[in-house]
Amino acid sequence: MFEKVLVANRGEIAVRVIKACQKLGVKTVAVYSDADREALHVQMADESYHIGPPPVAQSYLNMDKIVEVALGAGVQAIHPGYGLLAENATFARKCREKGLIFIGPKPEAMEAMGFKVKARQIMKEAGVPIVPGNVEGIRDLERARALAQDIGYPVMVKASAGGGGIGMQIARDERELEQAFKICEARAKAYFGDPSLYLEKYIEEPRHIEIQVLADNEGYTVHLNERECSVQRRHQKVIEEAPSTFVDPDMRRRMGAAAVRSAQAIGYNNAGTVEFLVDPDKNFYFLEMNTRIQVEHPVTEMITGVDLVEWQLRIASGELLTLQQEEIGIDGHAIESRIYAEDPDKKFMPSPGKITRWQVPQMEGFRADVGVYEGYTVSPYYDPLLAKFVTWGETRDEAIDRMVLALESTVVEGIKTNIPFHLKALKSRLFREGRTTTNFIDQLKEE
């Protein structure tokens, strides 16, 4: 195992990684911007180094500075957390060049999955189901028209280099296709510097269900079941759970096998997640692969008993996976509520400021991954995620009831949070009945 690891992140995930290091007896090095001098991850680490002003471009995304600090502090490896540099192949390469281990997959695997149309091509060849559509980037409208005819309307126009819902348009007929094509092309060029597009059949009322995988450096790969992440606002997940109420054992086996095949197709190692779009008839299609630890990883940990961050560290240090697929089961049900500093009365705009009271309950079947404390000031510079509440129950109903209890006994003052939204959602019939599609938030408003 490593002696010392640098955590190139902030907030609750930096804290989570530091805890995993502590469990393994690994010393930790934190980095921080001017805005994070008082941050929890800095207080928890064994050493900490200032890396620049508040904007991420000048601090948490400053690759050369972070590598320089890592070398100076004498660490063997860097954990990137999620977001920031987590899926940056250039950073992973810089680490490799300096003899530092990047705790994650190889840069080649990150690149293969980063370019979405390429990822579709690879998955198609590996026999993983993809959403019907094309697998080559297209540049002209004529070609798009012909393809849309073949696929059948409605279609989704997406950026080849895209992801996460950026530069994505629905077209219900040929006239809309022309519009969508132009809008997408402009956005793809602006966001990704690459105007090429691809088409997919539009899936109505889909669910977002993803499979967690772990792979060691020899390519031995297992899956750890699914997470249901359909409750999202503006492509940001809000509630996740495991297992999904929509997945039956046979479907789980097939999705798991497809996820393992996806990982093996690109020589994947470390923790990763394969996202699927699932239609109302339970057909599942590869959407994207996330080559990092994800925000919602705790729900998988709660139902499998596997510490994913610990395995990230073990795998990166060269240990082989000792988990057998047959022994990875599902124990009960877990739900995660993401607690954001957002104002529900102002369209869920970020609500930074000083937290004057912060009281989170301690109870059985409840885990809180927290990045803040009472007296801490939430900065406007970063993601407003304050904490993740995770509950476990023998049954889904029990997990829901526990979450309601936890949220109702939480006290936050000084800033606005989305806790009222969580309570409304969790108490709704729609959620209780497991009818969580990607249209959930709109349907909740109607209910």
List residues near ligand MV4 by CB under 6 A. 131, 156, 164-165, 200-203, 206, 208, 232, 235, 277, 287-288, 438
Exposure string (b/e) for 233-262, b if CB count within 10 Å is 16 or more? eeeebbbbbbbbebbeeebbeebbebbbbb
Closer CB to ligand MV4, residue 170 or residue 405? 170
Q: How far is the CB of 441 from ligand MV4 (least distance, A)?
A: 9
Closer CB to ligand MV4, residue 27 or residue 435? 435
Rounded CA-CA distance 29/17 in Å is: 11
Rounded CA-CA distance 262/85 in Å is: 23
Q: How far is the CB of 217 from ligand MV4 (least distance, A)?
A: 29
Burial of 411 (0-12, 13-18, 19+ CB in 10 A): exposed
Strand, helix or coil for residue 280: coil
Q: Is 287 left (phi over 0), alpha (psi -120 to 50) or beta?
A: alpha
Closer CB to ligand MV4, residue 36 or residue 288? 288
Q: How far is the CB of 12 from ligand MV4 (least distance, A)?
A: 22
How many beta carbons lie within 10 A of that of residue 182, not counting itself? 13
Strand, helix or coil for residue 359: strand
**C-alpha dist (Å) from residue 193 to 56, 187, 188, 211:** 21, 9, 7, 30
Whether 56 contacts 31, CB under 8 Å: no
Whether 293 contacts 271, CB under 8 Å: yes
Closer CB to ligand MV4, residue 29 or residue 131? 131
Nearest to 305 by CA among 284, 330, 270, 287: 330
278 beta partners: 207, 284
Q: How far is the CB of 389 from ligand MV4 (least distance, A)?
A: 21
Q: How far is the CB of 437 from ligand MV4 (least distance, A)?
A: 9
Closer CB to ligand MV4, residue 39 or residue 287? 287
Q: Is 322 left (phi over 0), alpha (psi -120 to 50) or beta?
A: alpha
Nearest to 406 by CA among 340, 352, 339: 339
Q: How far is the CB of 384 from ligand MV4 (least distance, A)?
A: 20
Closer CB to ligand MV4, residue 15 or residue 258? 258
* Positive/negative CA dihedral, 140, 141, 143, 147: positive
Residue linked to tokens 């510079």? 381
Give the CA dihedral 375, 381, 385, 386, nearest 10 degrees: -10
Q: Is 394 left (phi over 0), alpha (psi -120 to 50) or beta?
A: alpha
Rounded CA-CA distance 332/398 in Å is: 9
Closer CB to ligand MV4, residue 208 or residue 396? 208
Q: How far is the CB of 400 from ligand MV4 (least distance, A)?
A: 21
Rounded CA-CA distance 372/388 in Å is: 11
Q: How far is the CB of 276 from ligand MV4 (least distance, A)?
A: 10
Tokens representing 425 are 């959602």
| Selected catalytic residue, list 16, 187, 252, 292 | 292
Reply yes or no on whether 292 is catalytic. Answer: yes
Q: How far is the CB of 203 from ligand MV4 (least distance, A)?
A: 4
Closer CB to ligand MV4, residue 200 or residue 240? 200
Closer CB to ligand MV4, residue 156 or residue 415? 156
Give the catalytic positions in this structure.
292
